[in-house]
């Protein structure tokens, strides 16, 4: 798709306290200068929606801020493999106000199935989904689900609102060209959702009536039956009165719920966004080629959702987070931090002999799983007996090859390194073929392994061998010296099963690839381009839900002090934004998924033409040359993916 006038290369001041800046922050209105003669009272049912709002499309790598400038509306043309998610953004900005209230107006967004000439469909609500982009610390990040197939959005005067459109292509979807459209209509103020713009008096009246109902129903224990019946009747009458009030008039009419405008009005007055998706015959592997293991803090879940450790509600909460993250090609592990960065990590909260553990570990979407060194939930067995029993069970399973032990995070001194080695020795006593993963960015500070810090860093494998099999290094160590990677790899013994993984966290910082809030969209996506080019065989991220402690699910999200904004937080509790209990993804998490899908495209191309040819493609398209040289424009990504499609579709 062509996205004309991409402004990401222009010098834009960053958001205060946020690295990178992204797109459109601090801009004044510019771009399309459309004079609008509409004045006075406006009836949106009699005026073309295009006279009331700007509508245009932007790629998934754009950070669409409230002052994003309008552009021309162009048809959207996307490419996706089977088992791939592809996304685009829809931007809407009011030209005038027509609601007569504090909002500029309300638009109705309606989408339909995407259909092929042979009658195959990508169905709304299953494959096609819409989410509203909500700012966090003033930066577009949270993706809050919208109702389907029709949703209403309130527009603020002088501000751009973004809608994230994503299409999931099932494994078995027939290849072909799928077409559809998203229809946008301005609506009358009296059909707006009152819940979004209630006045204080209306809110107080509703509050009083609902509280009276609750007061009438709560103290009924021990009351005579006839009195209970009377209280229920009274409360029913009050609730019916509330539901039939003008506050909820949008949901009722003489002919039932009001859920779409007159068809003629849609045809004549709507803005129609044409959406085309080419599905090709390549199938993104169900099991990711790159194990990407991401931590989930169990204590954050326990505190915010009020679930006791080891309770049935606790198991349910962990399962929800685990299963939800699998859609992002991520292999989750739960973590609990101990002293001196010792960490208890586990993918399944159940013992190895529990059917749920086998279900988790056998899931083909899971590329790797963490085995705990000690019991997750207190039990009668001694910890040593527990570890031996767990390993004996898991070693008999076909999924044992996915297992790893993550025992210590970033050891810093000899005491910590020795503790790690002792724990690893215990694991290997029961399973010589077990994989122990260690993250590090330096050697022990109190016993230098070499004259310089980087040379000491290079000697860590020799120091840890044979107690570690997965050497997981920080990308921060390399700075912009990508050539230093070969020095790390040369220290490893892959013939003995040693692997090199990488990770990002607080560092590296801008302009290097990372997932901090406010970085460019291509900067987020480039993390996985870097992994592919450097040759890492796995990736670790320390935390996806590690925000500040809260004891209420709907509490405001606060990032942890001392960390860059967004570090350790890739999704949010749904309760923060609505009554939904489903987690809310960040657009950074969506870009991680896109990067992991790009990894599979590059792997396919390399399997056909060799790694060197794939590297040449990555560089000649300008997608990624190094940690400070990667595309700021989405077009380069489309060109690279299009070349892989053209070269591999006949032999995939």
Q: What whole-number distance in Å separates Cα of residue 128 and Cα of residue 87?
A: 10
Which domains does the chain show, CATH number per domain?
49-189+268-283 (2.60.40.10), 292-645 (3.20.20)
What percent of the chain has pLDDT above 70?
83
- Going by pLDDT thresholds of 50, 70 and 90, the confidence category of residue 7 is very low
Instruction: Tell me if 32 sits within 8 A of 491, measured CB to CB.
Output: no
Q: What whole-number distance in Å separates Cα of residue 600 and Cα of residue 168?
A: 16
Question: Would you say residue 38 has pLDDT above 60?
Answer: yes
- Going by pLDDT thresholds of 50, 70 and 90, the confidence category of residue 340 is confident
The pLDDT, as a whole number, for residue 360 is 98
- Going by pLDDT thresholds of 50, 70 and 90, the confidence category of residue 339 is confident
Three-state DSSP class for 82? Answer: strand
For residues 544-566, one letter each, b for 16 or more C-beta atoms within 10 angstroms of the residue's C-beta and e for the rest, the string is bbbbeebeeeebebebeeebbbb
Handedness of CA 362, 363, 369, 373 (dihedral sign): negative
The DSSP bridge partners found for residue 279 are 80, 176
Three-state DSSP class for 587? Answer: helix
Handedness of CA 32, 36, 41, 44 (dihedral sign): negative
The pLDDT, as a whole number, for residue 250 is 47
Q: What whole-number distance in Å separates Cα of residue 294 and Cα of residue 292?
A: 6
Q: What whole-number distance in Å separates Cα of residue 187 and Cα of residue 251?
A: 14
* Backbone Cα Rg of the chain: 27
- Going by pLDDT thresholds of 50, 70 and 90, the confidence category of residue 184 is very high
- Which residue, among 136, 160, 193, 139, has the nearest Cα to 584 in the 3D structure? 136
The token pair at 210 is 């609902």
- Going by pLDDT thresholds of 50, 70 and 90, the confidence category of residue 244 is low
The DSSP bridge partners found for residue 61 are none
Crossing angle of helices 587-609 and 634-648, in 10° steps, is 40
The pLDDT, as a whole number, for residue 389 is 95
The pLDDT, as a whole number, for residue 214 is 75
Residues 6+ apart with CB under 8 A from 554: 573, 575, 576
Q: What whole-number distance in Å separates Cα of residue 128 and Cα of residue 75?
A: 17
Of 59-68, 192-201, 371-380, 581-590, give the lowest mean pLDDT range: 192-201
The pLDDT, as a whole number, for residue 581 is 92
Span 469-493, average pLDDT = 94
Instruction: Tell me if 92 sits within 8 A of 271, measured CB to CB.
Output: no
Question: Would you say residue 209 has pLDDT above 60?
Answer: yes
- Going by pLDDT thresholds of 50, 70 and 90, the confidence category of residue 188 is confident
Instruction: Tell me if 570 sits within 8 A of 294, measured CB to CB.
Output: yes
DSSP for residue 537: S
- Going by pLDDT thresholds of 50, 70 and 90, the confidence category of residue 323 is very high
Span 548-560, average pLDDT = 94
Span 501-524, average pLDDT = 97
Span 467-472, average pLDDT = 98
Of 127-131, 217-221, 242-246, give the lowest mean pLDDT range: 242-246
- Going by pLDDT thresholds of 50, 70 and 90, the confidence category of residue 226 is confident
**How many residues are recorded in the chain?**
652
Question: Would you say residue 424 has pLDDT above 60?
Answer: yes
The pLDDT, as a whole number, for residue 23 is 32
Q: How far is CA 580 from CA 109, 126, 249, 554, 572, in A?
A: 20, 18, 23, 10, 12
- Going by pLDDT thresholds of 50, 70 and 90, the confidence category of residue 266 is low
- Which residue, among 155, 239, 140, 241, has the nearest Cα to 193 in the 3D structure? 155
- Which residue, among 324, 321, 326, 327, has the nearest Cα to 296 in the 3D structure? 321
Instruction: Tell me if 66 sits within 8 A of 135, measured CB to CB.
Output: yes
The average confidence (pLDDT) of the chain is 88
Q: What whole-number distance in Å separates Cα of residue 27 and Cα of residue 481?
A: 34
The pLDDT, as a whole number, for residue 205 is 65
DSSP for residue 59: E
Question: Would you say residue 111 has pLDDT above 70?
Answer: yes
The token pair at 97 is 């106000």
Q: How far is CA 131 from CA 3, 61, 93, 113, 161, in A?
A: 21, 15, 17, 16, 11
How is 240-306 classified by DSSP, letter by letter?
HHHHTSGGGGGG--TTS---S--HHHHHHH-EEEEEEEEEEEEE--SS-SS-EEEEEEHHHHHHHHT
The pLDDT, as a whole number, for residue 346 is 98
Phi, psi of 581 (to 5 degrees): -100, 0
Span 24-35, average pLDDT = 40
Q: What is the 3 state secondary structure string of 195-257?
A: HHCCCHHHHHHHHHHHHHHHHHHCCCCCCCHHHHHHHHHHHHHHHHHHHCCHHHHHHCCCCCC
Question: Would you say residue 547 has pLDDT above 60?
Answer: yes
- Going by pLDDT thresholds of 50, 70 and 90, the confidence category of residue 225 is confident
Distance between terminal CA atoms of the chain? 23
Instruction: Tell me if 130 sits within 8 A of 165, measured CB to CB.
Output: yes
Residues 6+ apart with CB under 8 A from 304: 549, 550, 551, 552, 553, 555, 573
For residues 399-425, one letter each, b for 16 or more C-beta atoms within 10 angstroms of the residue's C-beta and e for the rest, the string is bbebbbbbbbbbbbeeebbebbbebbe
pTM for this model (two decimals) = 0.84
Q: What whole-number distance in Å separates Cα of residue 187 and Cα of residue 153?
A: 10
Q: What whole-number distance in Å separates Cα of residue 266 and Cα of residue 287?
A: 43
The pLDDT, as a whole number, for residue 378 is 83
Q: What whole-number distance in Å separates Cα of residue 644 and Cα of residue 408?
A: 40
Instruction: Tell me if 583 sits within 8 A of 571, measured CB to CB.
Output: yes
The pLDDT, as a whole number, for residue 105 is 95
Residues 6+ apart with CB under 8 A from 300: 545, 546, 547, 549
The pLDDT, as a whole number, for residue 18 is 39
The DSSP bridge partners found for residue 99 are none
pLDDT digit string (tens) for 351-369?
Answer: 999 999 999 999 999 999 9
pLDDT digit string (tens) for 566-594?
Answer: 999 999 999 999 889 999 999 999 999 99
Question: Would you say residue 200 has pLDDT above 60?
Answer: no
The DSSP bridge partners found for residue 181 are 274
Q: How far is CA 285 from CA 277, 364, 500, 535, in A?
A: 20, 9, 22, 19
Question: Would you say residue 97 has pLDDT above 80?
Answer: yes
């Amino acid at each position: 798709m062509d996205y004309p006038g991409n402004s990401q290369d222009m010098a834009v001041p960053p958001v205060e306290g946020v690295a990178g800046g992204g797109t459109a922050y601090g801009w004044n209105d510019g771009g399309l200068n459309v004079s609008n003669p509409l004045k006075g009272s406006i009836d949106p049912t009699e005026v073309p929606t295009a006279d009331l709002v700007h509508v245009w499309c932007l790629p998934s790598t754009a950070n669409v801020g409230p002052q994003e400038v309008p552009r021309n509306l162009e048809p959207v043309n996307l490419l996706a493999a089977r088992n791939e998610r592809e996304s685009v953004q829809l931007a809407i900005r009011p030209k005038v106000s027509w609601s007569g209230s504090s909002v500029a107006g309300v638009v109705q967004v309606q989408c339909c199935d995407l259909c092929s000439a042979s009658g195959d469909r990508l169905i709304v609500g299953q494959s096609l989904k819409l989410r509203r982009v909500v700012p966090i610390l003033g930066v577009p990040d949270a993706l809050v689900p919208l109702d389907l197939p029709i949703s209403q959005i309130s527009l603020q005067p002088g501000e751009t609102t973004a809608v994230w459109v994503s299409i999931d292509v099932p494994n078995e979807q027939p290849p072909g060209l799928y077409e559809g459209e998203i229809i946008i209509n301005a609506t009358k103020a009296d059909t707006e959702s009152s819940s979004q713009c209630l006045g204080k008096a209306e809110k107080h009246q509703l509050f009083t009536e609902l509280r009276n109902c609750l007061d009438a129903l709560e103290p009924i224990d021990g009351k005579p039956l006839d009195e209970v019946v009377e209280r229920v009747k009274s409360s029913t009458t009050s609730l019916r009165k509330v539901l039939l009030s003008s506050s909820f008039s949008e949901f009722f009419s003489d002919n039932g719920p009001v859920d779409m405008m007159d068809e003629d009005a849609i045809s004549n007055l709507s803005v129609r966004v044409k959406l085309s998706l080419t599905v090709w015959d390549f199938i993104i592997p169900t099991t990711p080629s790159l194990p990407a293991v991401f931590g989930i803090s169990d204590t954050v879940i326990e505190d915010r959702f009020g679930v006791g450790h080891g309770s049935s509600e606790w198991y349910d909460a962990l399962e929800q987070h685990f299963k939800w993250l699998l859609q992002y090609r991520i292999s989750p592990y739960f973590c609990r931090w101990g002293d001196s960065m010792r960490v208890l990590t586990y993918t399944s909260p159940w013992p190895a002999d529990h059917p749920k553990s086998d279900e988790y570990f056998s899931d083909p979407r899971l590329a790797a799983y963490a085995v705990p060194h000690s019991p997750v939930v207190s039990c009668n067995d001694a910890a040593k007996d527990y570890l031996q029993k767990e390993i004996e069970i898991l070693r008999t399973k076909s999924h044992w090859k996915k297992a790893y032990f993550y025992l210590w995070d970033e050891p810093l001194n000899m005491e910590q390194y020795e503790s790690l080695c002792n724990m690893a020795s215990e694991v290997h006593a029961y399973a010589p073929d077990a994989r122990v993963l260690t993250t590090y960015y330096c050697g022990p500070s109190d016993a230098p392994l070499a004259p310089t810090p980087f040379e000491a860093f290079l000697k860590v494998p020799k120091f840890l061998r044979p107690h570690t099999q997965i050497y997981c290094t920080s990308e921060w160590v390399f700075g912009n010296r990508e050539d230093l990677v070969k020095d790390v790899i040369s220290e490893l013994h892959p013939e003995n099963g040693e692997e090199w993984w990488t990770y990002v966290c607080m560092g590296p910082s801008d302009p290097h690839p990372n997932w901090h809030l406010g970085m460019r969209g291509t900067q987020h996506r480039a993390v996985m381009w870097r992994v592919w080019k450097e040759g890492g065989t796995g990736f670790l991220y320390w935390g996806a839900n590690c925000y500040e402690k809260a004891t209420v699910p709907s509490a405001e999200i606060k990032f942890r002090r001392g960390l860059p904004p967004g570090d350790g937080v890739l999704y949010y509790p749904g309760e923060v934004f609505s009554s939904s209990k489903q987690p809310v993804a960040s657009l950074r998490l969506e870009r991680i998924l896109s990067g992991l899908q790009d990894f599979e495209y590059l792997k396919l191309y390399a399997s056909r033409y060799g790694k060197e040819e794939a590297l040449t493609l990555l560089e000649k398209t300008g997608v990624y040359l190094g940690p400070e040289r990667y595309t700021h424009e989405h077009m380069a990504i489309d060109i690279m993916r299009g070349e892989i499609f053209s070269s591999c579709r006949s032999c995939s």
